[in-house]
Amino acid sequence: MSELVYPPVIRAVLAAFKLLDLRIRIEGAERVPRSGGAVLVSNHVSYLDFVFAGLAARPSRRFVRFMAKQEVFAHRVSGPLMRGMHHIPVDRSAGAGAFRAAVRALRSGEIVGNFAEATISRSFTVKDIKSGPIRMAVEAGVPIIPVAVWGGQRLWTKGRPRKLLQRHVPITILVGEPLNPGSDDDIAKLTAELRRRMSDLLDEAQRTYPEIPPGVWWQPARLGGTAPTPEEAAALDAASRKPRSEPLP
């Protein structure tokens, strides 16, 4: 597969992060396999999560093919980049095609990235997750790698002003132990186990995050922040839900 777009995009992104002096901490990157297919499943707190989650695979010299909503591919700027990096479009009204494309990529040895919560979590906790990543991994016979990203919400998240030029923001990326599902395993139990692992990783990322002022909006309510509780966040999501998927921010 030709990689004319992905490497220069990564170099540009890393250069921007260096200029902003983002303090990126990655732990557990050795758990990303250096070859073969895998499903990388991350929590979702910001519009930049695909960048940070993708960095988890960089020490293993792997590119992650993220599944993203079709609207991103239709955008005049992001569309050519997404296609050039061989990401996988998802039409939420007809998801079977994206599922098949992801399984093909996994069987060909690619790492496929997925945000199993489907949308950004306003509460900054792990929402209920979809079973799709589990079913992909089972069908393709590959492991699932749970990832937690934290800090990106301070730069750009749902319902808050963008602060993409904010400097010195710590970013935490934690990679958990792979989950190796078998064809006879219960999908519901595997989904619950994956969510538990993601939640544990996110909890660790939040509790070890440096320089947390009291009562900040980007910290979950259970840790003393002023982010919506999961129940409040669900109500906000319901109020803003539209018949079609949310527009490109």
Question: pLDDT for 94-146, tens place per residue?
Answer: 789 999 999 999 999 999 999 999 999 999 999 999 999 999 999 999 999 99
Cβ burial, residue 67 (10 Å; 0-12/13-18/19+): buried
On the question of pLDDT at 245 being above 90, the answer is no
On the question of pLDDT at 36 being above 70, the answer is yes
Q: How far is 83 from 81, CA to CA, in rounded Å? A: 5
Contacts of 47 (CB under 8 A, 6+ apart): 120, 152, 156, 157, 158, 249
- H helix or E strand, kind and range, residue 67: strand 64-69
The 10s digit of each residue's pLDDT in 163-216 is: 999 999 999 999 999 999 999 999 999 999 999 999 999 999 999 999 899 999
Amino acid at site 56: A
pTM: 0.94
Average pLDDT over residues 39-47: 98
Strand pairing category for 38-42 and 144-150: parallel
Q: How far is 38 from 42, CA to CA, in rounded Å? A: 13
Q: How far is 110 from 1, CA to CA, in rounded Å? A: 10
State residue 245 phi and psi, 5-degree precision. -65, 155
% pLDDT > 90, the chain: 92
Partner residues linked to 145 by β-bridges: 40
> What does the block give as tokens for 225?
């922040």
Write a three-state SS string for 202-223.
HHHHHHCCCCCCCCCCCCCHHH
Please give the mean pLDDT across all residues of the chain: 95
pLDDT of residue 94: 76
On the question of pLDDT at 68 being above 50, the answer is yes
> What does the block give as tokens for 68?
């993203």
Q: How far is 135 from 100, CA to CA, in rounded Å? A: 11
Residues 23, 170 contacting (CB under 8 angstroms): yes
Contacts of 56 (CB under 8 A, 6+ apart): 26, 28, 29, 32, 40, 64, 145, 147, 173, 175
Amino acid at site 30: E
pLDDT band at 243 (very low <50, low <70, confident <90, very high): low
Q: Which of 132, 169, 177 is nearest to 27 (CA)?
A: 177
